[in-house]
Amino acid sequence: MYASESDKYARLTYRENFYDISPKLFDDGMFRGDITKTENKRCVPTDADVLCAGFPCQPFSKMGKKLGFNDPRGTLFFDIAKIIQDKRPKAFFLENVPFLKNHDKGITFDTIKDKLTKDLGYSFFYKVIQANEYGLPTIRGRLFMVGFRNDLNIMEFDFPKSVPLLYDMSDIFHGKCSRRLGLSIRVGGRNSGINNHRNWDMYLVDGVEHQINLDEAKKMMGFPDDFIFPVSNTQAFKQLGNTVAVNPIKMVAVNIIKKVQANEQIP
């Protein structure tokens, strides 16, 4: 019904892959840019059931400066909260890096939780999920936060149970890889070398050093084979470094939808 993406290269990728699925989104001007802009916030529909959002992780990441809400990117959460306050969706689904839970000795996470529960009137469930627990051969971890509007009286939410790996890195490389699970794709640090502590893109396959290519990285993250990156390799890897692993997001989303639909059937 609505999507917001400010990065011009990510916008190209989004349109390339989703226009055929949701042409109305693009044709009706509901694919917007910077969500901090008033005109883009105003366009968020009031009849949407679920709001999904990922706010910038750099202010809360172990790899960053850990400035949290003191980083301008960190305050984007409050823009999301304002949308929830104004549009009142039945549910929200938020994600960020696992370190958010412990940032500033837990004060940041408590602030987010209190805003959503005490100020906005939603329940709050959370879990740190590793992609390898949900079938994908990567150690990418994310903190998932789910909540339902209090008047729906949804008091419980079950995150999906873990499942075995669907394939490992040897399957992806079609050769014997020294690692069963892939390293988390990062923005920057490419070509660091297999023995460098910053390495994330070099693997030992059949005894030979191999740099992961775009198709292999895409499969590791759970993207379908027909997913297209109409941008440079540099931009494509940046997008994969910023993205979420597909399987856990999909599985959690399915549980949210089931919960909302079950609630609608209660007389």
Residues annotated as catalytic (active site), given as ranges: 57
CA–CA distance, 140 with 131 (Å, rounded to integer): 6
* 266 within 8 A of 150, measured Cβ to Cβ: no
Both structure tokens of 224: 């379908």
Where is 174: in which H helix or E strand? none
CB 66 within 8 A of CB 60: yes
Measured in whole angstroms, the distance separating CA 197 from the mean position of its chain's CA atoms is: 25
Q: Which residues pair with 245 in a beta bridge?
A: none
**Neighbour-count burial of 173, counting CB atoms closer than 10 A to its CB (0-12 exposed, 13-18 middle, 19+ buried):** buried
State the helix-helix crossing angle for 8-18 and 233-242, rounded to 10 degrees: 80
Q: Where are the alpha helices (DSSP H) in the chain?
A: 8-18, 23-27, 38-42, 76-87, 107-114, 169-173, 214-220, 233-242, 246-264
Question: If you ran DSSP here, which 8-state letter would residue 33 be given?
Answer: S
- Which candidate, 188, 240, 244, 242, places its Cα nearest to that of 216? 240
Cα(54)–Cα(61) distance, integer angstroms: 13
Q: Give the tokens for residue 118.
A: 């005490």
Can you tell me the distance from the alpha carbon of 59 to that of 191, in angstroms, rounded to the nearest whole number?
A: 25
